[in-house]
Amino acid sequence: MTREEEQIYDGEFGWANQVCMKILVRLGELFNATRLIRISSAHISGVSYKTLGDAPIGFLKSLADANGKAKVKATLNPQSFSPEYLGKKLPKNIREKQFTILEQFERMGFTRSLTCTPYYLQRPEAGSHLAWAESSAVVYANSVLGAWTNREGGPSALAAAIIGKTPDYGMHMAGNREPTILVNVEKPLQNETEFGALGIHLGKILGNKIPLINGLKNASEDSLKQLGAALATTGMTNMFRRDASSEKRGIEKVSVEAEDIKRTIEGLSTAARHEPDLVFIGCPHCSLDEIRHIAGEVEGKKVKQRTECWVCTSRHNMEKAADYVKIIERTGAHVLADMCTIVSWTEMLGIRTIMTNSAKTAYYAPTLNKAQTILVPQEECLKTAFKG
């Protein structure tokens, strides 16, 4: 450690900095890191009260009381509800606990972004070092944006934000970012749901191997977002490559057939009926292009009775796409900011069946939302939700 890092570790810069430095040093020891490196941003998971619970609130308050302050741009993952819509339907104690969590982060200088897509707020530079904890954002940053980040846990990302550094191991080292397995996708993927299914399938068989995936040449960033989110859902892979020039001779090869994709989608669709209580799009949070496209598809239509339709995005994108948001909401659908359906209280709202285009949501909803799922492309989601 540097002299300043030793002083922080010894408590000369206060308790908040000391405890955060100890978290980072212990993490570095576990992975045999030899130094800490500076980061340009941190992104914190563990913001939703539903998944965080009561126990960590005291720790967050203690850090804020001890004058813990973020040293770099630090953004937050979604909370458990949208204040304007779902917050009004939930018990007061849930709202108060969630707002208490957010208050502690704000006291420490964290940006109230409340999104799983912090790269839409500010795109990190290629080659920049980050400490991000949202798994879908980690894969996207490493694979699409060319930034360098490990998959941090909530505490380590929080500690990195306050110290402004992270241990130098894993995805921060060039030698660990080379592909170790070649994946041939035998049939072109047709939509975002199939990209997600590919991710779910690969996550189960790759472990922590980095795949070079042939078959992604013309994929949009929105499709790659679904791939990365799903890949991180079932596996520990933190990045993928799609540049054939990076192929190494002699590495292991695996093929993905059309039947693998079909079987994965079918396995993620657990509902016996095709009449959802909720049609949900926006996991990970919708881009501006996705909001624009949805508005074009639903303009002049109405949401069917007894059906909820949610489109989740960041407040940042919601404000930038205000005209498109108005078009969507005139239909009776809801564009929701600040929240993630997976870590929201859908079961309290009587939602038992969720239709979505997100493989990640379909994977988690049966356990986290106690809901059955229907996984279909966005086009079919909208056809199901709307009339006219």
Q: What is the 3-state secondary structure (H, E, C) of 42-101?
A: EEECCCCHHHHCCHHHHHHHHHHHCCCCCCCEEEECCECCCCCCHHHHCCHHHHHHHHHH
Residue with tokens 């859908």: 346
Sheet holding 372-375, edge to edge: 334-337, 308-313, 278-281, 353-356, 372-375
Q: What is the pLDDT of residue 312?
A: 98
90 pLDDT band, cuts 50/70/90, is: very high
Does 19 share its domain with 150?
A: yes
Does 59 share its domain with 163?
A: yes
Q: Give the global pTM.
A: 0.96
- How many domains is the chain partitioned into structurally? 3
> CATH code at 359?
3.30.499.10
Asked if the model's pLDDT at residue 245 lies above 70, the reply is no
- Cα separations (Å) of 152 from 53, 130, 133, 136, 230? 19, 10, 4, 12, 17
203 contacts 363 by C-beta, under 8 angstroms:
no
Does 302 share its domain with 197?
A: no
360 contacts 225 by C-beta, under 8 angstroms:
no
Asked if the model's pLDDT at residue 328 lies above 60, the reply is yes
Q: What is the pLDDT of residue 272?
A: 84
Does 32 share its domain with 82?
A: yes
Helix (H, G, I), strand (E, B) or coil at 344: coil
- Sorted by sequence, the CB contacts under 8 Å of residue 127 that are 6+ apart come out as 146, 147, 148
Does 161 share its domain with 279?
A: no
- Any idea what the Cα angle at residue 368 is, between residues 191 and 347, rounded to 5°? 100
Domain boundary among 234, 267, 300: 267
217 pLDDT band, cuts 50/70/90, is: confident
CA-to-CA distance for 151 and 142, rounded, in angstroms? 10
Asked if the model's pLDDT at residue 254 lies above 70, the reply is yes
Asked if the model's pLDDT at residue 329 lies above 80, the reply is yes
As beta bridge partners, residue 119 has none
29 pLDDT band, cuts 50/70/90, is: very high
Q: What is the pLDDT of residue 250?
A: 74
Does 201 share its domain with 299?
A: no
Does 234 share its domain with 311?
A: no
Q: Please give the residue range of the domain that contains residue 189.
A: 178-267
With a pLDDT cut of 90, the percent of the chain lying above it is 94
Q: What is the pLDDT of residue 67?
A: 97
- Give tens-digit pLDDT for 332-387: 999 999 999 999 999 999 999 999 999 999 999 999 999 999 999 999 999 999 98
- At 41, phi and psi to the nearest 5? -160, 160
235 contacts 206 by C-beta, under 8 angstroms:
yes
- Give tens-digit pLDDT for 40-73: 999 999 999 999 999 999 999 999 999 999 999 9
Does 156 share its domain with 66?
A: yes
DSSP sequence for 98-159 = HHHHHHHHHHTT-B----S-GGGTSPPPTT-BEEE--HHHHHHIIIII--B--B--HHHHHH
Burial 122-153 (b: 16+ CB within 10 A, else e): eebeeebbbbbbbbbbbbbbbbbbebbbbbbe
Does 321 share its domain with 227?
A: no
Per-residue tokens: 156? 């380590």
273 pLDDT band, cuts 50/70/90, is: confident
Does 96 share its domain with 230?
A: no
Does 46 share its domain with 149?
A: yes
CA-to-CA distance for 295 and 287, rounded, in angstroms? 12
246 pLDDT band, cuts 50/70/90, is: low
Domain boundary among 116, 148, 174: 174
Which is nearest to 260 in space by CA: 206, 212, 202?
202
Does 112 share its domain with 212?
A: no
For the chain, give the mean pLDDT: 96
- Any idea what the Cα angle at residue 378 is, between residues 372 and 383, rounded to 5°? 85
Domain boundary among 155, 174, 193: 174
